[in-house]
Structure 1
Amino acid sequence: WAKQQGGYAGYAHSASGLEVHPQNAARRLLAALDTNQDSLLVPAEAARGLLPEKFESIDSDRDGALNEAELMASHDRVSDQLPNLAVPEMNGVGAMEICVSTAAGVCDFISAMDTPRIAEWNMWYHILNCGFPLKVSGETDFPCMSGDRVGQGRIYVQLGKVKRIDFGAWCEGLAKGRSYVSDGFAHALEYTVNGVAPGFGDVRLAQPGTATIKAKVAFAAETPLTVAQGLQTPPGGKRWMGDTVNLHAPPSKETVPGGTRLIEIVVNGRPAASKEVPADGQIHELAFEVRIERSSWIALRHFPQLHTNPVNVLLAHSGASRPSSNSGARDIG
């Protein structure tokens, strides 16, 4: 409906339903792969599906088979990791149909910055790894999901030098990924790969080589001491960081001065380089050199406060990620 009218479409409060329930996920694997119904997965059975970790890492008692408790423990471990291969519940009001709608060409973006960050970014990463040019946008969804205030999750779109903001041009910039998302306390004022900024084209390499990344970043000199900003670790673990919908720690109006923030260069969802910068309200220029062996997307992030849209680096005869393709298939199934 939105696309038929010439609009841009995406999902709100994306991670509502993308959380991992370790017991349910373990039982789904057993139901799908346990061909002899003995409540165990041997290597031959496990090879038919997508495990959250390598078989040997899950098999904690080293008996050559995976039971429900081991599968539960594995899903619980990877729920705090980004990216991960745990299949979420897909039972909420967030980006439930995104694997299908993106492939059908009717979804332009996934929203982030208001629900748990790992679940938001993990789904986005896997779709990018399948070769789809899905962009990320920022949202708060006040007062429906978050009852605090507007502006907890934001998107900053690069419009260039303009005399007035044109909403149509802003929407087009969002859909093309000329932007970054943040909580308002973290900023990527510039970000390029081999001189190309997100949404302004791809980088093409004839053969594997080095990509040069340059950025200008800034972090507020004072930051709220909250789970949403990643300065408190909730009892449930890192998987809940960034969430503005549910209260995972006692409410606080306290702010934290200074400190450092870890900037990571992410290649196909995994950190490839990093540097720490001070949170001092100043602009810091950064440069990285990253080796690229196959077609990749490259973005800049600070978990859980900041993420740029990616720049694609394209090499000939290089395709999508098989684990991410399998993950998407399992999400749909």
Structure 2
Amino acid sequence: FEGVACVAFHPRFPENRKYYVKYHVRNQGSHFSPVIVERQATPDLLHDAGVPSRRVLQIHQNTDLHWGGMIAFGPDGYLYIGAGDAGPQEDPEGHGQDLKVLNGSILRIDVDRQDGGRPYAIPELNPFRYAAPPIRPEIWASGFRNPWRFSFDPATGDLWVADIGQNLFEEVSIARAGENHGWNVYEGFMKFSEQHRRDGEKYTPPVFSYRREYGVSVTGGYVYRGRRNPSYQGAYLFGDFESKRLWALTQADRQLIKVRQIGESPQRIASFGLDHDGELLLVGYEGTIYRLELDGSDFHTVPMLQARVNLLRNGLPAAARVSITGRDDLPYAPDAVPLRKTAAGESYFYADRVFEAKVPRGRSRLTFHGGLETIPQAAVIDAGADTELTVRLQSWIDLAERGWYSGDSHVHLHTGGPISVTVADALVAASAEGVNFVNLCVSNVEGDDIRDSELITGKPHPASTDRHLLVFGEEMRSMIYGHMQFFGITKLVEPQYTGFDNTPFSVDFPANYQMAAEAVRQGAVVTYAHPMFTGQPFPFDDDLARPNGAARELPIDAILGVAHAVDIMSYNSDEPLSTELWYKLLNCGIKLAACVGTDALLDRSTDPPGGDRVYVKIAGPFSMESWLAGLKSGRTFVTNGPVPLLEVNGQGAGETIRLPSAGKVQVAATVESYVPFDQVELIVNGEVVVHTAVPAEGTSGVKLARVAVELPIERSSWIALRVRGPADRQVFDG
């Protein structure tokens, strides 16, 4: 079998040894279609008998999307089949509303009989059993997008269907014969499209729907009818594949009574199962089967208290990145505030000045972060009533006082993600992370969907403050030549992308130079994004036509003067490989500034902006112009924690020292850090010439290391300072 999705055992399996497998086969083209076959077990019921399969049903489709997944025998003895809408995204052909195709429906067939030339029969009470062709009589209920898992309540016979959503909502429904559950006219409770609405059609809403900030792919479970925890009796337990959250809900007449999160899975949730006692099992995507232990919880009683937290810095209201973990080890956030998650799995939200959150009564842990220059704070709420707390954020260093201002070249505001954000939210994030300059990149999402281009003005957005500048720039994306960020452009440089299939700019033309030159004409500074990826052959793939976002054209554009910097650090790149590429370009005499672009997405759960960052030494007051001038001149350092400062003959980063002949230079390096580091290296022309191991003792608090040496210089050279350290929970992209 290829791509097995589900197995169902015949109700009389001990006698007839029949079981059914849903898997995928290739069509005559390149796409897969779901197939259901009948197999037979050996007499001891422990192995497959090895006899040929009997093909029961194939559901043809023309994309590799939304196959559905579940098959199960109902209490009536018939086989129920979950069929997805077969794509493409958003179901433009309206399969979910088309009774002439099997897609987008729950099907019901009788595998014990055959009629009408089919290898199965149509149950007498199927709602479309006697409908005129071409309506498909197999359809039992319609209007589904991708019903990956469904189950029957053994006590009531209700069919619970978890349907994976499109852009905004996941949904849980109780389906009944002949009903239309709405897709793609509705997504969850909200209208989605009028294109395939039928006059007079009645649409059945879900019991429960949740926004994608809580998860992006619902996995259906079971109604609890076990004995170990009576408080869950009759509650439907389910989860989300991606967020790994587990919920339980109760309903009456398909109206939601109560829903609460009851846990989080160690692995992404692929499926659920039941043991012989009706207790739930969870199938992890990585291959582990877990038993849900409900003994220590009570579904009906979760006493909550209100926590009010005031955030201050230097006695003034401040913003912060906050994590709250309740006594149940679950994350919490204020109402209507999106809960995000880092790549390491830590949940967080942004708060400005003051916030209120409901947390379980008892001990809750809170952490507060203010970016690389701020000392992380921790607090514990252990109270039996509503409480108030004031947190005073403290900096361990203030680099702006020394003329260094931080920035992130690559942050996206709107990418079609599930979190609703505005420019004001971007300002809160920048303030909370202590990032002074944020380049909010306009780019296509997928295809020709370009967002926020009207906000490009060549000036800081009016929401900016004197300490935090939000400037809309551009990420120019070529699938062959690499991605670039433009700082300070006055209007969108077009084409904004090249080489994206099925778009107006599907060809790999023009080369990046044309767009970079136009950006420079507008007065922009240009940097190349995520120049090298993990596992990528150095410097580039042999197959130059294979799509790749690496900086393939960077050397040429730098030589031609239209690329000024390169992002040495990014959440999406390999820093050692990217640094090696930079070293090679410097060795060729190409002076490129070191920059950073995290590629953080503010409308999705990612690591935060500024977890990696570039610091720029500016001349005069902080402004967009002074920051970009400092970046272009190379007065920068990049970091995700330590602060490395380098002087050669009294000159700082980005400066040029002219010697009359070969000789020696005085090098002074200082490293300050609140996170651990254990190595300090001086690099000359790509080679380590000084390596200093830093003792691990006394790693708490601020750590300081100094290196002062005299280096011989015999030819044209460049000198850099590099700091390394161990992984640390405070460090992103480490």
TM-score bucket of the superposed structures, by smaller chain:
0.5 to 0.7
Given that residues 672 and 704 in structure 2 are in contact (C-alpha distance below 8 angstroms), is that contact kept between their aligned partners in structure 1? yes
Counterpart in 1 of 2:54? none
For 1:120, which of 578, 601, 609 is the aligned residue? 578
Q: In the superposition, relative to structure 1, how do residues 304 and 277 fare at CA in structure 2: closer, same or farther (>3 Å)? A: closer
Asked if 1:153 corresponds to 2:153, the answer is no
Report Cα offsets for 1:142-164 as digits up to 9, x if no partner: 1299922211210011125x5x5
Q: In the superposition, relative to structure 1, how do residues 276 and 304 fare at CA in structure 2: closer, same or farther (>3 Å)? A: closer
Counterpart in 1 of 2:678? 261
For 1:14-25, what aligned pairs fall within 5 Å after superposition? 14-16=531-533, 19-21=535-537
Asked if 1:178 corresponds to 2:178, the answer is no
Alpha-carbon distance, 1:178 to partner:
0.8
For 1:119-138, what aligned pairs fall within 5 Å after superposition? 119-138=577-596
Alpha-carbon distance, 1:206 to partner:
2.2
**In 2, Cα distance between equivalents of 1:213 and 1:186:** 19
Counterpart in 1 of 2:709? 288
Given that residues 111 and 138 in structure 1 are in contact (C-alpha distance below 8 angstroms), is that contact kept between their aligned partners in structure 2? yes
Moved more, 271-280 or 284-293: 271-280
Given that residues 273 and 290 in structure 1 are in contact (C-alpha distance below 8 angstroms), is that contact kept between their aligned partners in structure 2? no
Report Cα offsets for 1:6-57 as digits up to 9, x if no partner: 11101112224x8534xxxxxxxxxxxxxxxxxxxxxxxxxxxxxxxxxxxx
Counterpart in 2 of 1:107? 563
Which AA in structure 1 matches 2:686? G
Report Cα offsets for 1:126-183 as digits up to 9, x if no partner: 11100011111012111299922211210011125x5x52111001101111110001
Asked if 1:8 corresponds to 2:525, the answer is yes
For 2:647, which of 186, 192, 208 is the aligned residue? 192
Alpha-carbon distance, 1:117 to partner:
1.0
TM-score, length-scaled by structure 1: 0.55
For 1:166, which of 615, 618, 623 is the aligned residue? 623
Moved more, 172-181 or 146-155: 146-155
Given that residues 139 and 152 in structure 1 are in contact (C-alpha distance below 8 angstroms), is that contact kept between their aligned partners in structure 2? no
Given that residues 568 and 596 in structure 2 are in contact (C-alpha distance below 8 angstroms), is that contact kept between their aligned partners in structure 1? yes
Report Cα offsets for 1:240-284 as digits up to 9, x if no partner: xxxxxxxxxxxxxxxxxx5x4211110011101122335551333
Alpha-carbon distance, 1:198 to partner:
1.6
Given that residues 616 and 637 in structure 2 are in contact (C-alpha distance below 8 angstroms), is that contact kept between their aligned partners in structure 1? yes
**In 2, Cα distance between equivalents of 1:138 and 1:304:** 19
Which AA in structure 2 matches 1:124? W
Which AA in structure 2 matches 1:186? P
Secondary structure of the equivalent of 2:598?
coil
**In 2, Cα distance between equivalents of 1:179 and 1:146:** 29
Given that residues 117 and 304 in structure 1 are in contact (C-alpha distance below 8 angstroms), is that contact kept between their aligned partners in structure 2? no
For 1:1-333, what aligned pairs fall within 5 Å after superposition? 1-16=518-533, 19-21=535-537, 86-89=538-541, 91-114=547-570, 115-143=573-601, 147-159=606-618, 164-183=621-640, 185-188=641-644, 190-199=645-654, 201-220=655-674, 222=675, 258=676, 260-277=677-694, 279=699, 280-303=701-724
Given that residues 213 and 288 in structure 1 are in contact (C-alpha distance below 8 angstroms), is that contact kept between their aligned partners in structure 2? yes
Counterpart in 2 of 1:316? none
Q: Which runs of 5+ in 2 are unaligned?
A: 1-517, 727-734
Alpha-carbon distance, 1:219 to partner:
2.1
**In 1, Cα distance between equivalents of 2:575 and 2:599:** 15
**In 2, Cα distance between equivalents of 1:134 and 1:303:** 22
**In 1, Cα distance between equivalents of 2:616 and 2:562:** 21
**In 1, Cα distance between equivalents of 2:702 and 2:606:** 28
CA RMSD of aligned residues (A): 2.4
Given that residues 593 and 636 in structure 2 are in contact (C-alpha distance below 8 angstroms), is that contact kept between their aligned partners in structure 1? no
Which AA in structure 2 matches 1:208? A
Alpha-carbon distance, 1:304 to partner:
7.5
Secondary structure of the equivalent of 1:137?
strand
Secondary structure of the equivalent of 2:600?
coil
**In 2, Cα distance between equivalents of 1:274 and 1:194:** 20
Given that residues 14 and 94 in structure 1 are in contact (C-alpha distance below 8 angstroms), is that contact kept between their aligned partners in structure 2? yes
Q: Which runs of 5+ in 1 are unaligned?
A: 22-85, 223-257, 306-333
The structure whose residues are more often strand, as a share, is 2
Q: How many pairs does the alignment contain?
A: 198
Secondary structure of the equivalent of 1:9?
strand
TM-score, length-scaled by structure 2: 0.26
Given that residues 263 and 301 in structure 1 are in contact (C-alpha distance below 8 angstroms), is that contact kept between their aligned partners in structure 2? yes
The structure whose residues are more often helix, as a share, is 1
**In 2, Cα distance between equivalents of 1:298 and 1:126:** 13
Counterpart in 2 of 1:66? none
Which AA in structure 1 matches 2:651? V
Which AA in structure 1 matches 2:685? N
Report Cα offsets for 1:86-145 as digits up to 9, x if no partner: 432265213121011011110000012111112211111111100011111012111299
Which AA in structure 2 matches 1:98? L
Alpha-carbon distance, 1:301 to partner:
0.7
Q: In the superposition, relative to structure 1, how do residues 262 and 2 fare at CA in structure 2: closer, same or farther (>3 Å)? A: same
Given that residues 539 and 581 in structure 2 are in contact (C-alpha distance below 8 angstroms), is that contact kept between their aligned partners in structure 1? no
Which AA in structure 1 matches 2:631? L
Counterpart in 2 of 1:238? none
Which AA in structure 1 matches 2:561? G
Given that residues 267 and 298 in structure 1 are in contact (C-alpha distance below 8 angstroms), is that contact kept between their aligned partners in structure 2? yes
Secondary structure of the equivalent of 1:172?
helix
Secondary structure of the equivalent of 2:658?
strand
